[in-house]
């Protein structure tokens, strides 16, 4: 089950954090994986680590997902390397820890350029080829904040951008529903990551316990497993879905 041995995957933001976890999980199921981010040296280190752990072939390629020309060049390089792309994980993203009255125009546009424009550019470039091929799995990374804000976390740009990811996913899924290409998203709750380090998670532990029905943050592997399912043939009839991986947060 969930055999990806004949598949080629692309993961943006794949050199660090949860992106590297996604790339590792896909590689562990047999996929060849291209990992993309801006810093080639970080990607090279991540590729070595993933290859050692999984034995899969990893292709690290520096890419600016906010630049359509950079994306086009990387797409061609991946096609030259692997011949096709079956799976796209739009993971690259970020935000600013600023409330509405304090966020700058520059910060707002930077977040939307990365989280929304970059996702659209990647999906447009890679998805068009998937449609031509009659097969594809596109997985976007949204957030529980894409469904609404939190007074405890006034990060307006990130919440708004992830809301856009949610509805982009649904719209793209309906547009391509008969093409063999599925488009879904995961909406993570609270997970330890490079953005939420151990100290930050400890500071939020009481808040997470009160608000999350499972009374804990997510553990390593619990997020990547959802990506593997959505990337696999077993999810053929699943499209336009926003899969909450949040310990029940969005159930209440």
Q: What is the pLDDT along the chain (252 residues), one digit of tens a residue?
A: 899 999 999 999 999 999 999 999 999 999 999 999 999 999 999 999 999 999 999 999 999 999 999 999 999 999 999 999 999 999 999 998 889 999 999 999 999 999 999 999 999 999 999 999 999 999 999 999 999 988 888 899 999 999 999 999 999 999 999 999 999 999 999 987 665 556 666 767 888 888 899 999 998 899 999 999 999 999 999 999 999 999 999 998
Domain ranges of the chain: 8-246
Q: How far is CA 119 from CA 62, 141, 240, in A?
A: 16, 9, 15
**CA gap 231, 55 in Å, rounded:** 19
Distance of CA 252 to the CA centre of its chain: 24
**Is 237 one of the annotated active-site residues of the chain?**
no
Under a CB-based contact definition with an 8 Å cutoff, are residues 117 and 67 in contact? no
Say how far apart CA 52 and CA 72 lie, in whole Å. Answer: 29
Instruction: Tell whether the torsion through CA atoms of 135, 83, 28 and 121 is positive or negative.
Output: negative
Q: In this structure, which CATH number among 3.40.50.300, 3.40.50.720, 3.40.1190.20, 3.10.20.30 belongs to the domain 8-246?
A: 3.40.50.720
Q: In sequence order, which residues have a C-beta less than 8 Å from that of residue 75 and are 6 or more positions away?
A: 85, 125, 126, 129
The total of other beta-carbon atoms located within 10 Å of residue 213's CB is 12
pTM above 0.75, yes or no: yes
């Amino acid at each position: 089950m969930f055999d990806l041995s004949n598949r080629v995957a692309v993961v943006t933001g794949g050199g660090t954090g949860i992106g590297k976890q996604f790339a590792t999980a896909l590689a562990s199921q047999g996929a060849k994986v291209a990992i993309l981010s801006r810093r080639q040296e970080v990607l090279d280190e991540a590729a070595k680590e993933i290859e050692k752990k999984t034995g899969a072939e990893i292709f690290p390629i520096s890419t600016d997902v906010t630049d359509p020309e950079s994306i086009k060049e990387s797409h061609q390089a991946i096609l030259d390397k692997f011949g096709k792309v079956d799976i796209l994980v739009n993971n690259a993203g970020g935000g600013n820890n600023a409330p509405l009255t304090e966020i700058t125009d520059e910060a707002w546009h930077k977040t939307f350029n990365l989280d929304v424009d970059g996702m659209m550019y990647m999906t447009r470039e890679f998805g068009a080829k998937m449609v031509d091929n009659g097969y594809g799995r596109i997985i976007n990374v949204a957030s529980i904040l894409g469904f609404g804000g939190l007074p405890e976390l006034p990060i307006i740009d990130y919440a708004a951008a992830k809301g856009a990811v949610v509805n982009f996913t649904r719209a793209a899924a309906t547009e391509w529903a008969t093409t063999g290409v599925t488009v879904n998203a995961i909406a993570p709750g609270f997970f330890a990551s490079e953005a939420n380090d151990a100290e930050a998670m400890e500071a939020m532990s009481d808040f997470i316990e009160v608000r999350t029905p499972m009374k804990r943050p997510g553990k390593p592997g619990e997020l990547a497993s959802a990506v593997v399912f959505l990337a696999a043939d077993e999810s053929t009839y699943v499209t336009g879905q926003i899969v909450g991986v949040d310990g029940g947060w969005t159930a209440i």
